């Protein structure tokens, strides 16, 4: 779980970190969250811009980085297009961070609107229509759910009302990025398409640089939404990919939820994987160099009680060099069955 922020988001994150520390072992929800989730916080991705920003709600000063004057949220490789990436030091550092740590869920906290924005921000083909079309990901149902969790737990975001000086309304307080306005090279699109991490851009305040006296109210408006959003990292499926004979982890395996054309990977060194999914029946496709292609059916159970539930899988891949011929699956007759399935649904009450 990772968090990155603009100016107002920076204040909210400091408050959130202190709240989690102060309430661990005394608050049941906070204790469950910290016992089950590793949380990383980056107070600001743009410290130079933070220093020079003006105390204006709609001010643009401080939006770009210090020397190159690059908008950092346009400086990531785009999923659809060959965009002009400057590769400034801040963007490169964040990309290295994403590559090193297998984040599952992420959020970038921005200001200037009240809406939970989900990928894609970029669009594959431009249209001639006057209205911006949405650009949904293969996990559109999950992203809409995540955005709704945040908006519904925010004090006012779910109302979808426009900020002062704007006539833009957001139904339910959520929007697809491209439906709002298209832009290439955003961090959210890159994090999802390249690293398999589901990231929202959370516009948490109409004011980009709120005055200090307004910060306590900003925290109270976002506190419950931040907590509930973090908990969503524990929803869906998780497990390990192992060699069927040696029981050694297989890192770098290509994984895909059948019917969702987006690949993610098992972690090098541990073979672990995660994917946020809503309740339902799924099939996990697994491929690794030197191993038979494998398909594993599994179920994500409905949430019962306060906390989300995870389905755990241990997937054993059969090496193609082994002499014994693997069995075939019942779901795909041409696919060798090489998996011992161990499934446990944890329901946190």
Pinpoint the alpha helices (H) of the chain.
Answer: 7-23, 28-36, 47-52, 89-100, 140-153, 177-180, 187-195, 215-231
Contact 285, 297 (CB under 8 A): no
Instruction: Give CA–CA dist 308/302, Å, rounded.
Output: 8
- Assign residue 244 a region (left: φ > 0; alpha: ψ between -120 and 50; beta: otherwise): alpha
Give 90's contacts (C-beta < 8 A, 6+ positions apart).
45, 46, 65, 72, 75
Starting at the edge strand found earlier in the chain, the sheet holding 280-287 runs 264-265, 254-257, 280-287, 294-300
Identified catalytic residue from 90, 184, 199, 203: 203
10 Å Cβ neighbour count for 246?
Answer: 9
224 is catalytic: no
Q: Which two tokens stand for residue 2?
A: 């990772």
Sign of the C-alpha dihedral computed for residues 150, 151, 152 and 157 taken in this order:
positive
Beta-bridged to residue 238, according to DSSP, are 274, 312
The closest alpha carbon to 184, from 342, 77, 44, 29, belongs to 77
Contact 219, 148 (CB under 8 A): no
- Assign residue 323 a region (left: φ > 0; alpha: ψ between -120 and 50; beta: otherwise): alpha
Catalytic residues: 203
């Amino acid at each position: 779980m990772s968090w990155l922020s603009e100016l107002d988001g920076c204040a909210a994150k400091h408050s959130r970190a202190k709240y989690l520390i102060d309430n661990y072992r005394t608050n049941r929800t906070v204790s469950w969250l910290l016992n089950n989730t590793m949380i990383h916080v980056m107070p600001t991705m743009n410290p130079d811009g933070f220093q020079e920003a003006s105390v204006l709600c709609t001010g643009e000063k401080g939006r770009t980085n210090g020397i190159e004057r690059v908008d950092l949220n346009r400086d990531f490789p785009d999923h659809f297009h060959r965009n002009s990436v400057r590769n400034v030091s801040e963007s490169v550092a964040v990309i290295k961070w994403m590559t090193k740590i297998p984040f599952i869920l992420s959020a970038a906290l921005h200001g200037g609107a009240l809406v939970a924005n989900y990928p894609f921000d970029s669009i594959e083909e431009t249209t001639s229509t006057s209205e911006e079309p949405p650009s949904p990901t293969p996990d559109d149902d999950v992203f809409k759910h995540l955005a709704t969790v945040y908006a519904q737990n925010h004090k006012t975001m779910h109302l979808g009302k426009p900020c002062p000086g704007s006539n833009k309304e957001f139904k339910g307080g959520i929007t697809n990025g491209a439906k709002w306005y298209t832009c290439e090279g955003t961090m959210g699109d890159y994090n999802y398409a390249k690293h398999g991490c589901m990231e929202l851009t959370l516009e948490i305040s109409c004011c980009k640089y709120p005055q200090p006296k307004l910060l306590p109210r900003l925290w109270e408006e976002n506190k419950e939404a931040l907590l509930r959003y973090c908990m969503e990292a524990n929803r869906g499926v998780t497990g390990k990919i192992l060699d069927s004979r040696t029981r050694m982890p297989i890192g770098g395996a290509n994984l895909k939820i059948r019917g969702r054309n987006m690949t993610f990977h098992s972690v090098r060194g541990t073979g672990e994987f995660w994917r946020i999914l809503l309740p339902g029946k799924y099939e996990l496709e697994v491929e690794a160099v030197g191993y038979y292609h494998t398909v594993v059916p599994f179920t994500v159970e409905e949430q019962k009680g306060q906390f989300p539930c995870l389905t755990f899988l241990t997937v054993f891949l059969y090496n193609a060099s082994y002499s014994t011929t693997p069995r075939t699956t019942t779901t795909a007759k041409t696919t060798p069955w090489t998996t011992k399935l161990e499934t446990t649904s944890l329901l946190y009450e």
